[in-house]
Structure 1
Amino acid sequence: MSARQTILDFMREKAYKPMSAEELLKVFEIPKKESKAFLKLLKQMEKDGEIVKTRANLYGVPERMNLVVGRLYGHPRGYGFVIPDDPDMEDLFIGPEDLNGAMHNDRVIARINKQTRGKRKEGEIIRILNRANRRIVGNFEKSRHFGFVVPDDKRITNDVFVPKEEFNGAKEGQKVVVEITRWPEKRRNPEGRIVEILGYVGDPGVDIAGIIHQLDLPLDFPKDVLKEANAISEEIPESEIKRRQDLRNLITFTIDGEDAKDFDDAVSIEQLDENTVRLGVHIADVTHYVKEGSALDQEALKRGTSIYLVDRVIPMLPKRLSNGICSLNPYEDRLTMTCMMDIDLRDGRVIKYDIFESVIRSSERLTYNQVNKMLVDNDQELRERYSRLVPYLELMEKLCLVLRKRRMERGSIDFNFPETKVKLDENGKPIDIIKVERDIAEKIIEEFMIKANEVVAEDMYWRQVPFIYRVHEEPDQQKLADFNEFIHNFGYHIKGIQNEVHPRQLQEILKKVEGTVEEHMINTVLLRSMKQAKYTTVPIGHFGLATEYYTHFTSPIRRYPDLQIHRIIKEVLKKGSLTNKRIQELEELLPEVAEHSSLQERKAMDAERDSIDLKKVEYMLDKIGHQFEGIINGVASFGFFVELENSVEGMVRVSRMTDDYYHYHEDQYALIGERTGKVYRLGDRVKVEVYRVNLEEREIDLILV
């Protein structure tokens, strides 16, 4: 056990009362020569929010002091929520007057103050542990003696004040990057200086440039990183092949999207007997090339993930690795990590498995589209072209359906939301919005990757080594109670809501509403009731997948946690176990990696969604006056949001509903007319006309037809 964990365990004991540093030195009998290191550790633990130092200079753990440590998520309307590090704690509501200078995504300590009528806990920020927004992207507004930058990210609700001497050439109406020089305080805006001018709002490319800069990541890799990447040999030494399992004669292939260029995973399948198949999931062995602590590794950790924007990819690794040496390109020898599983075709049970280092040669690069055409549409031309692979694909389809059935039976939740893709012309202008169908090919890869992730996570758990897990916490009890109250209006009910709810109960509700008028609405409300999945070193399970052990093993080219756990797996496979020193190193390192990776993932998701939403708004610029049908997917006191058939979202404002006075009924997710009793509720179908499109604010105003 690490020194850090020993201190935490001691402070969590019931009999513990906050102690000074001197008292702790005595309790732990720290020799004089080691006292400096011990005090340094206490300081670091305080900085990380694991322990808190009171005004009387006494140390304790936050949970015993009515405090919550976590990350603040801002809301455009000025308030926020602290998402606690402790998965057993509920989110804490923070009113605008209690933010005390904290901004969206800051890591904070909050004091729990009271509980409101709806049983929701409220608090106030008392300390900011780590600032997340050192640079902010926004639109510059200038007056004679000073200026303001209005942030693009609406969850950052403070405009940044810029003194005249810090304009650095910025002009009114330009999109800029502002560096914070003074953090906000109660009733005082942050101050900053302009460090980069991206161009005038509305100029081609400026919008996406703003999203990229908000990530605070360089588009280009640093020179030392590129130098390391360029020094890597494309040749695989014979000695390396000899020490691995050679699977180059095994039929393996990749199945990905049409425009994918980095191939993390290949699959293989063999029929062992009438009821048993051997499924192979072969993952690019990135750790062979990206050594721990190297410039490549540090840059990959900093980025955390590859980011897939509407018009480009910002990769986690240089292209020479991501699209070349590490990518499982067809007809090329590639180093891989393999999870080989013998599975019973009758019930999807894994009979036995093996995880090992391997070398493969992918037989083919297939696309989802091609596989769907072969298996669903029975496309004879494609089936003839890939005739040697068709029997493998058919067997994979059979196994996929068995695995999926088993997963659904245990209660895995599967939301039914159609995906869309924005098609751009060569100048980056949106010309179409296409629905992306999810068919058997996508499901094959999804099921196989889920199964490999489960097997690896459980294997490492029982080996009792420090590890990074992918977890999804149970929904907040109050949010589930609200959801239950909402679906009661439609004749549905979750039993035993006061006790622990099993995901199967939620899945059953989704099954019942399938094909009904209210399906979209109930799917939407349930999704909003769920927590976000994240990375952590504690395997608390994955609620949405209804599984006890889960990790991310299958995408080390584009996700840092996968790359990190590959290292641990390889060490364990080589040595059988880890040394105490290595365990201690990992116990110190992994929580930080998990926390940073979760943050980077959310940033990437926000950027991806922002880039798509931006192009969707741009697509609607010439649609003013056009009429569309849509579904109400959000209701507030000031109006309701409508998702059009092409997946674009707009808003009908109460101020433009002139036939009556409408009142917001939060419990019914509805606006109800005072005189007419007319109801506009979440999930209702409406016909609307596009009234106004504001690209700068990324808003579409609609009026009812």
Structure 2
Amino acid sequence: MSARERLLDFMKNKAYRPMTRAELFSHFNISKDEQRVMKRVLRSLEKEGLIYQNNKGCFGLPEKMDLIAGRLQGNQKGFAFLIPDDPAKEDVFIGSSNMNGAMHNDKVFVRVLPHVKGKRQEGEVVHIIEHANTRIVGNFERSKYFGFVVPDNKRIFYDLFIPREEINGAKQAQKVVAEVTRWPDKKRNPEGKIVEILGFKEEAGVDIEAIIRQLDLPQGFPEGVIQELADISEVIDTAELENRHDLRGLSMFTIDGADAKDLDDAVSLEDLGRGRFRLGVHIADVSHYVREGSDLDKEALNRGTSIYLVDRVIPMLPPKLSNGICSLNPGEDRLTMSVFITYQLEPLKIINSEILPSIIRTNYRLTYREVNDILLNDDQELIAKYDNIIGQLRMMNELRSKIKRERFSSGSVNFDFPEARVILDEQGKPTAIEKRSHGTAEQLIEEFMIAANRVVAEEMSWREIPFIYRVHDRPDNDRLLEFNEFIHNFGYHLKGVDNEIHPRALQDLLESVRDKPEERVINTMLLRSMKQAVYSPYNIGHFGLSIEYYSHFTSPIRRYPDLMIHRIIKEVISKGQLSKKRIKSLEERLNTVAEHSSLQERRAMEAERDSVELKKIEFMKDKIGREYEGIINGVTNFGLFVELDNTVEGLVHVENLKDDYYHYNDKQHCLIGESTRKVYRFGDRVTVKVDKVNPDERELDFVLAED
């Protein structure tokens, strides 16, 4: 048993009382020479949120001290939610007066406050385990003797104070990077110094560079990574084929977006006769090239994920791997991990499955648009071009349809929100906004990837192997009760909301509002009521997909958890079982990897969303005075949020509703006129006029056209 396991087991004992470091040394008979190691173990456990040191210097388990460890998700209004490390625990609301100097994304211990019936769980930050925002990007505002940096990330609701001697040449209205030198408390803003000047806000490219700096990622790869890359051959060693299944004679292809360069998945389908088909999902074997503990591996873990900004990709792995030897380009031999699933079509069921290391050679690189045109539009030119795989494609589509139907019948929740793609010119200026469709081809790949992810997770769970799962906990009951109260306004009701609701009830609701005026608003409010999916070494299932076992296996080029579990799977396949030493090593490491990957995923999502929203607002700069149709997708006491048909969102301030005094009804989520009793609510269609556009503050103001 390792030192950390012995410590945790000891603290879990009912008779344990919090002890000081010296008392723990004495209990375990730790010699002076061993004390440094023990101190390191204690620090590691505290950083992971597994133990807590109180103000008397005594160590104990957080749960025994009524504490919860987790990450803060800030709000620009000054409050936050604790997202617990334990995905089975409810989120905790943290009011602005209880933040105690903590900031967005900080890892903290929170003490839950006495619960008031009918209100959601609230808490207070009692200790900051780890500060997440060591550098802050924003606009510099200078006065005579000091300055402030106003963060671009509005979830960081403190302005950063800059003493005069730390301004370092920054000028008014420049975009800067500041390093935090003193953390905030109840009475004082954080303090910092300017470490980089990106340029004036209106200069080309500064806006996106600011978002990149906000991620705190290096622009290039370290020298150690470059050196390791040079040693990676782009020719596959023939000796490697001895340990792999040779699938180069199997017909298969990739289906991706037209501009994709990192092709990490290919699919195949074989007709076995008697109504049985063998689906193959073939994933780039990145782990063969990125060895555990190497500089490449450390950098990939640090980044956690590839980030897809509006005008560029910040890859998790260098292009030599992501776009080269690991990309499943047509006609080229590639090392892969293959998942085969044999289906019986009528009725649909899985007969068997297997996971194996392989070598493949894809036949074609198809795009989503091509596959949609073949399957939906019967495009004769494309059918002639891909004549030898048309039957395979059509059979895949039939299998897709059956898998999707079976998944939804089990209760999988499907949100169908349109995605927007902003088209930029060579100078980075937005010229158009296109809606991305989630067509048949996109669904085909999605269903096959979900199927492979399920098989992998179930296999490793059955083997009781330390693993990283993709988990999604059920929504907090108070949020569902609020949501149920909201949909009463539209004549709907959720079944089972007073007990443990099944995701099938949520999908039934989404089906019942499909193509109705209230569809968008109910989808939006339900999504806000649900928790975020995260990575975890503890499997609690995936509520949204209504799946007991789920993982992320299919994108190791751009997601670190996928890369990590590829290694584990290969070890299990080659050795049959893992050694006790390896199991302990994984158990000690996976929690940290899962938590870091979840954090990096959230940061990437924020950056991707920010880059798109920034360019959307910039797109509207020359459209002041124009009228647009839109739908109300948010109602607050200060106004109405309206989303245009092109997905651009803006605010109609309540003071600009000129025909009456309007009051906010929090039960019905609407504004009601005092005299006219006119109502503005979620889902109403309105005509608005563009009034003000402020890209610096990322604000877009509308007025109602009829006013």
Q: TM-score, normalised by structure 1?
A: 0.98
2:456 is matched by which residue type in structure 1? V
Counterpart Cα distance in 2 of 1:517 and 1:47? 48
Q: What is the alpha-carbon distance in structure 1 between the residues aligned to residue 4 and residue 341 of structure 2? A: 38
Structure 1 residues 260-286: Cα deviation after superposition (integer angstroms, max 9, x where no partner) = 000000000001013110000000000
8 Å CA contact retained: 2:69, 2:85? yes
Alignment of 1:203-602 (within 5 A): 203-602=203-602
Could you tell me which residue of structure 1 aligns to residue 193 of structure 2? 193
Q: Cα deviations across residues 504-544 of structure 1 (Å, max 9, x unaligned)?
A: 01011101111111111110100000111110100110000
Gaps of 5+ in 2: none
1: CA distance, partners of 2:257 / 2:508: 31
- CA distance change for structure 1 residues 665 and 328 in 2, over 3 Å: closer, same or farther? same
Q: CA deviation at 1:24?
A: 4.4
Q: Displacement, 1:361? A: 0.3
Aligned identity (percent) is 59
Query: Which residue is 1:653 aligned to?
Result: 653
Measured in 2, the distance between the counterparts of 1:614 and 1:102 equals 27
Displacement of 1:404 after TM fit? Answer: 0.3
Aligned to 1:637: 637
Return the alpha-carbon distance in structure 2 between the equivalents of residues 300 and 142 of structure 1. Answer: 38
Separation in 1, partners of 2:250, 2:589: 37
3-state SS of the aligned residue for 1:124?
Answer: strand
Which amino acid letter does the alignment assign opposite residue 515 of structure 2? G
Q: How far apart, in 2, do the equivalents of 1:149 and 1:31 lie? A: 49
Deviates more, 1:631-640 or 1:36-45: 36-45
Question: What letter corresponds to residue 652 of structure 2 in structure 1?
Answer: V
Unaligned runs of 5+ in 1: none
Displacement after TM superposition at 1:119 (Å): 2.4
Deviations 1:355-378 (A, max 9, x none): 010000010000000000001000
CA-to-aligned-CA distance 1:423-478 (integer Å, 9 cap, x gap): 11111111111111111100110000000000000000111111100011110110
Moved more, 162-171 or 207-216: 162-171
Post-superposition Cα deviations, 1:220-258, rounded to whole Å, max 9, x if no partner, equal 111221221122111111111232100000001000001
Alpha-carbon deviation of 1:74?
1.0
Aligned to 1:60: 60
Contact 1:140 1:176 in 2 (8 A): yes
Shift of residue 347 of structure 1? 3.5
Match of residue 618 from structure 2: 618
The Cα shift of 1:498 comes to 2.0
- C-alpha distance in 2, partners of 1:375/1:363? 19
2: CA distance between counterparts of 1:257 and 1:203? 31
Q: Take 1:64 and 1:484, find their aligned partners in 2: how far apart are those partners?
A: 34
1:697 corresponding residue in structure 2: 697
For residues 658 and 491 of structure 1, the distance between their equivalents in structure 2, rounded to whole angstroms, comes to 31
RMSD: 1.5
Q: Within 2, Cα distance between the matches of 1:116 and 1:72?
A: 22
Retained in 2: the 8 A contact 1:230–1:320?
no
The CA deviation at 1:58 is 2.8
SS at match of 1:115: coil
Report whether the alignment pairs 1:606 with 2:606: yes
Farther-moved stretch of structure 1 (519-528 vs 108-117): 108-117
Partner Cα distance (2:32, 2:159) in 1: 50
Checking the alignment, whether the CA contact within 8 Å between 2:88 and 2:540 is kept in structure 1 is no
What is the identity, as a one-letter code, of the residue corresponding to 1:527? L
Mapped to 2, the partners of 1:282 and 1:28 lie a distance apart of: 50
Maintained 8 Å contact 1:347/1:402: no
Which has the higher mean CA deviation after the structures are superposed, 642-651 or 491-500? 491-500
Please give the secondary structure, in 1, of the residue aligned with 2:387: coil
- Partners of 1:80 and 1:175 lie apart in 2 by 26
Determine the structure 1 residue equivalent to 2:118: 118
1:165 deviation in Å?
1.5
Distance 2:321 2:43 in 1: 39
CA contact (8 A) 2:48 2:592 kept: no
Q: CA deviation at 1:144?
A: 1.4
Number of aligned residues: 705
Superposed, 1:133-144 pairs within 5 Å as: 133-144=133-144
Query: Counterpart of 1:668 in 2: which secondary structure?
Result: coil
Alignment correspondent of 2:82 = 82
Does the 8 Å CA contact 1:2/1:587 hold for their aligned counterparts?
A: no
Deviations 1:643-673 (A, max 9, x none): 1011000000001111111111111111111
Instruction: Identify the range of structure 1 (78-87 vs 243-252) with the bigger mean alpha-carbon deviation.
Output: 78-87
1:467 touches 1:590 (CA, 8 Å); kept in 2? yes
* C-alpha deviation, 1:114, in angstroms: 2.7
Partner Cα separation in structure 1 for residue 23 and residue 192 of structure 2? 43
Question: How big is the shift at 1:98?
Answer: 1.5
- Structure 1 residues 13 and 548 mapped into 2: Cα distance closer, same or farther (>3 Å)? farther
Give yes or no for contact 1:283–1:337 (8 Å, CA) kept in 2: yes
